[in-house]
Amino acid sequence: MNGPEILKKAKRTAIMMVSPETGMLPAEMGDFAPYISGKTGGLGDVVAALCEGIVARGIDCHIATFDLKKRFQTERHLDEKGWRKIRFTIDPDKIHLVCSSIFADLDSAYSGNLLLNAAEFQKQIVNNIIRNVSAKCEGRLILHSHDWMAGGAITAYAKSRGCPILHTIHNIHNGNIPLDMLFGIDIDSMAWDIFFSEDNGRRCIDSLSTAIKSASIVNFVGDRFLGEIIEDNFLDRAIISPNVRQEVKVKYDHGATLTITNAPSLRMYPERCESLVRKYGPDDDIAAAERENRAEFQRRTGLMVNPDAILLYWPSRLDPAQKGVEMIQDIAQRFVIEHGDVQIAFVGNGVGQDRTHEEILGRIACASGGKITYQRFTEPLSMLGYAAANVVFGASLYEPCGQIDQIGNLFGAIAVNRDTGGYHDKIIDLELAIDGSPRDEGNGFLFRDYDPGGLWYGLSKGVQFCRMPLDVQERQIKRIMREARKKYDLNTMVDEYVKVYEKLNGGRPLF
């Protein structure tokens, strides 16, 4: 060889997450990562966990999300001067924030005017971020979009430019964005990949239908929910739009759908969670740890301090369209009266600007004499609630995946919810050998009917288990905690996603 051998760095394909929210991002994504966390539910947790797992494998990972400036400042205890210093001195690196006065002061992407938020988000990502990230990667980019806000013009643009797309459906919510809100985007150049709709006489982009149409592969986070769409469930309710159902069926018929179950971030395990007063794992004295965390949770939320109480915990948003909050409002007071050893805790916000159910639960809590509490969502309090709970519950009409049952099981609580979607996939009724069953199995209880009576039945079954002798409970809780760690392993979820990315990358590895 005449000259020195030149070693060229291997060319890598990057993954860019596009999501309206995220939980705490891994430090490996840059010095800016600790300042960005704006989750409102399970979607943010899953996106953060996926970033964590991808980065750990040496894959080039980017994320584009909303710049919720006020919320980021509040969570990091920064004033305007402190925030500006961070923004002007720290390179965001792999984190691409969409900045706008439209949503800078909002708590989440789902507050304020949702269509206006989505339009601004989509315009900036289409006109700037995708092109810039793709150029850094010399065109080797896979887009992983999450939720309807990350669909619409974003996925249509990426498809029209030849970028492979994986779209994950975390929920079936949707938005029809009028074309005049997307002024500044070259709609004509991507019209073939858009699902157009009409709303009040205005031509719109159907964001979720467009995401499904333009995606190379559409991923669901649970088998049962995909089946419910294909089998035409919920036709009697305005849950799944005909457009979305049509596009899902087309993708399914062409073999372009799959399911990957969500897995929680390792930061959400009780042995690692910084929000607890006493950390613990399946090999520890769980009852003692839960009693200590329960007493602290009771003090912080105004419940009567009684670590021996049976605590039923609702950690979901107060959504009457999906989560069934009106049903627990109907029975909560009567339930704690009839079950004297029970307390009920709610930690969650209303939907968008709707404070109706926050006010109702606040009144119920005030009238309960310290047996019921309602608190607006903060992540530290929410996580402490899991460590305090005996039962983590909900009453979902439908559920693509659900995560509260997973986290509850990881923390040693049993799960109660309705037999639908992701809860059908993940909750198995508890059956114990001491009661005559062939073996110990299950992690909670399902109920069938979407009404207060069904919820009462499910909660009563949970309370019945919590009144069993402590040694019986402890044995089952340890089993449930271990099984949850095995079943919802983050590495397994990331491995499944990496296989999909490599398929979209022409079968070539990413690292």
Please compute the mean of the pLDDT values over residues 456-474 and round it to a whole number.
Answer: 97
Above 50 in pLDDT, residue 7? no
| Low-confidence winner among 69-83, 198-212, 490-504 (lowest mean pLDDT) | 69-83
**Mean of the per-residue pLDDT values of the chain:** 94
Beta carbons of 501 and 14 less than 8 angstroms apart = no
Domains along the chain with CATH numbers: 14-263+490-504 (3.40.50.2000), 266-487 (3.40.50.2000)
Above 60 in pLDDT, residue 188? yes
Give the pLDDT confidence of 195-211 residue by residue, as tens digits: 999 998 999 999 999 99
Short-list 360, 396, 383, 402, CA closest to 313: 383
Short-list 264, 172, 153, CA closest to 211: 153
User: Quick one: pLDDT band at residue 58, thresholds 50, 70, 90?
Assistant: very high
> CA angle 118-51-165, nearest 5°?
55
Please compute the mean of the pLDDT values over residues 452-474 and round it to a whole number.
Answer: 97
**H-state helical runs in 40-110:** 42-56, 69-75, 80-89
Please compute the mean of the pLDDT values over residues 474-480 and round it to a whole number.
Answer: 97
Mind giving me the DSSP string for 449-460? -SSHHHHHHHHH
**Residue 134 per-residue DSSP state:** H
**Residue 416 per-residue DSSP state:** E
What's residue 1's pLDDT? Answer: 45
Helix axes 379-388, 404-411, angle to 10 degrees: 60
| pTM of the complete model | 0.91
Give the pLDDT confidence of 399-416 residue by residue, as tens digits: 999 999 999 999 999 999
Above 80 in pLDDT, residue 441? yes
Beta carbons of 150 and 19 less than 8 angstroms apart = yes
Beta strands in 131-201 (DSSP E): 141-146, 165-169, 176-178, 196-199
Above 60 in pLDDT, residue 287? yes
Give the pLDDT confidence of 221-262 residue by residue, as tens digits: 999 999 999 999 999 888 899 999 999 999 999 999 999 999
What's residue 80's pLDDT? Answer: 92
Q: Which of 75-79, 125-129, 264-268 has the highest mean pLDDT?
A: 125-129
User: Quick one: pLDDT band at residue 354, thresholds 50, 70, 90?
Assistant: confident
Give the pLDDT confidence of 372-393 residue by residue, as tens digits: 999 999 989 999 999 999 999 9
**Positive/negative CA dihedral, 178, 182, 187, 192:** negative
Q: Quick one: residue 442, left, alpha or beta (phi over 0 = left, psi -120 to 50 = alpha)?
A: left
Mind giving me the DSSP string for 202-238? EEEEEHHHHHHHH-SEEEES-HHHHHHHHTTTTTTTT
Structure token pair of residue 509? 């590895």
What's residue 237's pLDDT? Answer: 87
Above 90 in pLDDT, residue 39? no
Structure token pair of residue 435? 């009661």
What's residue 9's pLDDT? Answer: 54
Beta carbons of 286 and 280 less than 8 angstroms apart = yes
Give the pLDDT confidence of 449-460 residue by residue, as tens digits: 999 999 999 999
Above 70 in pLDDT, residue 6? no
Short-list 129, 130, 118, CA closest to 173: 118
Please compute the mean of the pLDDT values over residues 347-362 and round it to a whole number.
Answer: 93
